[in-house]
Amino acid sequence: MEKLFKKQNLLNHDMSMLTALTLHDLLVERLDIFCWCNNCGHNNVIETKEIINKLGQNYPVPKIGYKLRCGICNNTNNISTRPNWPNHNGQLTRHMS
């Protein structure tokens, strides 16, 4: 018996419907950019306004890492970026590489 809904098909469909947050979205929400070097673990927060001036407000947040260089190990190929969500005095998310 074939399943009416295959989990992978649903996941693929849902992922295709998602759009990445842009720098404009972060500016509206007053959030900066959290950057993480997947080689050495160094991390930093970059002001959204600073990056908008260089990349434009429609640039997707996950792709910012392609434009960055780690200040510790000089890595340019493996940097992750996401909104710098407020922590409200506790851990809400954890970066997993």
Q: Three-state SS across the chain?
A: CCCCCCHHHHHHHHHHHCCCCEHHHHHHHCCCEEEEECCCCCEEEECHHHHHHHHCCCCEHHHHHHHCCCCCCCCCCCEEEEECCCCCCCCCCCCCC
Confidence of residue 36 (pLDDT cuts 50, 70, 90): very high
In a domain, 4, yes or no: no
What range does the domain containing 24 cover? 20-83
In a domain, 1, yes or no: no
Which two tokens mark 89?
Answer: 């005095």
For range 52-67, the mean pLDDT? 95
Name the β-bridge partners of 46. Answer: 33
Which two tokens mark 77?
Answer: 């190929």
Confidence of residue 1 (pLDDT cuts 50, 70, 90): very low
Q: What is the total count of domains within the chain?
A: 1
In a domain, 25, yes or no: yes
Smallest Cα–Cα separation from 80: which of 53, 51, 44?
Answer: 44
- pTM of this structure: 0.72
